[in-house]
Structure 1
């Protein structure tokens, strides 16, 4: 009998259907589970977890597709379930440590900086006065900033700070909309018209495909209306994306990169391509439209072949984790 893989997701749709189909091809079962429905119960089984649909057993592997937002306590419990599964010997792809590093944008920036991956200068502070001083200082040096929610995604909540195209954008009250934290990063103006960034998909430590996200707006997320175009996976893009994924300890990652704009007179220049964000539960529907191979199959093959050491032609007996 094939292995049973828990697909942790708060949303069933195209991505989960793709993963389930790829698992069926490999003789496995993909079962969609919402981490919000999982719980800790030390009286229920030897391992102390309750994973819906698994009774007293545990999944043979876990593939994390998405984690629902919630209170600090709720998210802590959901990540705690993933931590516990890893400690119990269940391969978790990506595991909770990697997800925590990528969800927290300030930690992503810190780890990229420590690994010497080119990334825009970044600040995270709880002091509005200090954030204002940073904005004034950087503005004097010719740099506008982007204010981002620490845990945001899909381009939501991004705000310009400073002067862009002759318009001044004031720093908003961070207590009201940003949880009392200013996460600020150098704004990279478009290097071409229209502007674009790259999304590179890394699977098992290797960059496998890339696309350009093109938009007349300065935010290039597909969820904000950007269009997807094929992009050559150059050596530079691949090396930067692979280095970023390695710095965060990711099994798979969607790495966002941007070209540096031409330096303005008097401004400090940072040449080349820079890594903007690293996504630990990256969607791939957009990049699939410009990629010839099946991405879900590549993810499943990496999970089974690298993490579980199962080859396409081998017998796959189910691992027992009974009491």
Structure 2
């Protein structure tokens, strides 16, 4: 490398988001290099940095923007997160860092941290044995069973009692339950997604679902919403609670009108949100990321 300060964008493929992000970051004077997390590793004693990152063997990136960690075996994902931990330990700004990603990917830890921060969120149970899950279903039969590491609304099951509980193998050995939150108006399925960057809500949308699963990938329609109201404030606090510099926060309103935080996504997509938002979301992300890089002490080689 020539010594020019260069940012690293970790992305699995050149998707809709990545070129927009690259343009926005480079427009602020910071060149970018995109690398798949599958090509990264540890190279202690083999490279000047101790890391295996194509294009960064001799010097560290100025900053790292994590668009994706990617699917893989437990060992592969652990290694990729290890690289992110190492980068942070070497003084490189990582956006979002491994700690935030781990806290958000594990929905039970997100629930724990939201509750600990005093944020309104549904009670949650994560157990490796079926018996605690059965007891919860006996007390409150209408529960949603979620994959602990799930995304995009896949794998959700609504259970109406303990007899509906699946076997442990079908849930990867972990039962993660939250009570079903019925809509304020019967059949009007909707929730809120708030996009947070740099400690502020930059855009928001209401997602109108065809069923109680209101994810865009499950066919929900998007409508612009305020980024300056109670759910937006809760979203900012939720991102702070998990330590995320940027996040997509999902909220829902219960029948009493109270907003509840459901999830915090540390590597959110924003294509659906961008269609209904006047704010350039990639530009907002780039502004916060480049500011963090520029104000950070430069890491040693």
TM (norm. structure 2) is: 0.94
1:220 corresponding residue in structure 2: 214
RMSD (Å) for aligned C-alpha atoms = 1.9
Q: What is the rounded CA distance, in whole Å, between the counterparts of 1:169 and 1:198 in structure 2? A: 32
2:169 corresponding residue in structure 1: 176
Q: CA deviation at 1:212?
A: 0.6
Q: CA deviation at 1:34?
A: 1.4
2:133 corresponding residue in structure 1: 131
Q: Is the 8 A contact 1:7 1:32 kept in 2?
A: yes
1:148 corresponding residue in structure 2: 146
Deviations 1:227-269 (A, max 9, x none): 111112242112100110110011001000000025xxxxxxx
1:257 aligns with 2:243: no
Deviations 1:59-90 (A, max 9, x none): 11000001112221111110000000000011
1:42 corresponding residue in structure 2: 44
Q: What is the rounded CA distance, in whole Å, between the counterparts of 1:320 and 1:307 in structure 2? A: 10
Given candidates 61, 65, 70, the residue that maps to 1:68 is 70
Q: CA deviation at 1:275?
A: 0.3
Note the 1:153-172 alignment, pairs <5 A: 153-162=151-160, 170-172=164-166
Q: Is the 8 A contact 1:147 1:184 kept in 2?
A: yes
Q: CA deviation at 1:55?
A: 3.0
Q: What is the rounded CA distance, in whole Å, between the counterparts of 1:227 and 1:81 in structure 2? A: 37
Q: Is the 8 A contact 1:51 1:58 kept in 2?
A: no
More displaced 10-residue stretch of structure 1: 91-100 or 43-52: 43-52
Task: Provide closer, same or farther for how the CA distance between residues 132 and 6 of structure 1 changes in structure 2, counting only shifts above 3 A.
Answer: same
2:60 corresponding residue in structure 1: 58
Q: Is the 8 A contact 1:2 1:28 kept in 2?
A: no
Q: CA deviation at 1:9?
A: 1.3
Task: Provide closer, same or farther for how the CA distance between residues 320 and 188 of structure 1 changes in structure 2, counting only shifts above 3 A.
Answer: closer
1:90 corresponding residue in structure 2: 92
More displaced 10-residue stretch of structure 1: 25-34 or 105-114: 25-34
- SS where residue 260 of structure 2 aligns? strand
Q: How many residues align?
A: 298
Given candidates 267, 278, 290, the residue that maps to 1:304 is 290
Given candidates 280, 290, 298, the residue that maps to 1:294 is 280
Q: Which has the higher Rg, Structure 1 or Structure 2?
A: 1
Given candidates 250, 261, 270, the residue that maps to 1:284 is 270
2:229 corresponding residue in structure 1: 235
1:112 aligns with 2:105: no
Q: What is the rounded CA distance, in whole Å, between the counterparts of 1:153 and 1:2 in structure 2? A: 37
TM (norm. structure 1) is: 0.88
Q: List structure 1 runs of 4+ shifted beyond 6 angstroms.
A: none
Q: What is the rounded CA distance, in whole Å, between the counterparts of 1:42 and 1:281 in structure 2? A: 28
Q: Is the 8 A contact 1:150 1:183 kept in 2?
A: yes
- SS where residue 108 of structure 2 aligns? helix
Q: CA deviation at 1:293?
A: 2.0
Q: CA deviation at 1:309?
A: 2.3
Q: Is the 8 A contact 1:3 1:319 kept in 2?
A: no
Deviations 1:283-305 (A, max 9, x none): 11111111112111111110112
Task: Provide closer, same or farther for how the CA distance between residues 215 and 24 of structure 1 changes in structure 2, counting only shifts above 3 A.
Answer: same
Structure 2: gaps of 5 or more residues: none
